[in-house]
Homo-oligomer: A and B are copies of this chain.
Amino acid sequence: MKAKVYVTLKEGVLDPQGQAVARALGRLGFSEVQDARIGKYIEVQLADDVKDVEGHLKQMCEKLLANTVIEEYRYEIVK
C-alpha cells in the first residue's frame, strides 16, 4: 500500500522559493506565469495489513511530515 502526501505552505505564509521560481520562469520567457508555490510531495510505502491507515497517516503528518505551524497537508491512499 502506498500513501501520497502533499505538504504545502498555509495561505499567507511567505514562500520565498515559490516567488523566486515564479520570477525565474518569467525570465525564461514564460510570461503566463503569475505565481508559484512550492511544497513537498512524499510517497510513503506501507505494509498492506495496517489497520486505520487514515488515522495513522494523519498522525504521521501532524507529528513529522508537515510542520503544522506553517504548513498544511493532504494525502491519498493508493492500494
- CB closest chain-B residue, reference A37: B43
What's the minimum C-beta distance from A3 to chain B, rounded to whole angstroms?
A: 9
- A64 cross-chain contacts in B, Cβ below 8 A: 21, 24-25, 28
Count of chain copies: 2
Is there an interface contact between B44 and A33, defined as CB atoms closer than 8 Å? yes
Give chain B residues whose Cβ lies under 8 Å from the Cβ of A28.
Answer: 60, 63-64
Docked-complex contact A41 and B44, CB < 8 angstroms: no
Contacts of A65 in B (CB 8 A): 21
Cα–Cα distance between A46 and B26 once the two chains are bound (Å): 11
Chain A interfacial positions (CB closer than 8 Å to B): 6-8, 18, 21-22, 24-25, 28, 30-47, 49-50, 56, 59-60, 63-65
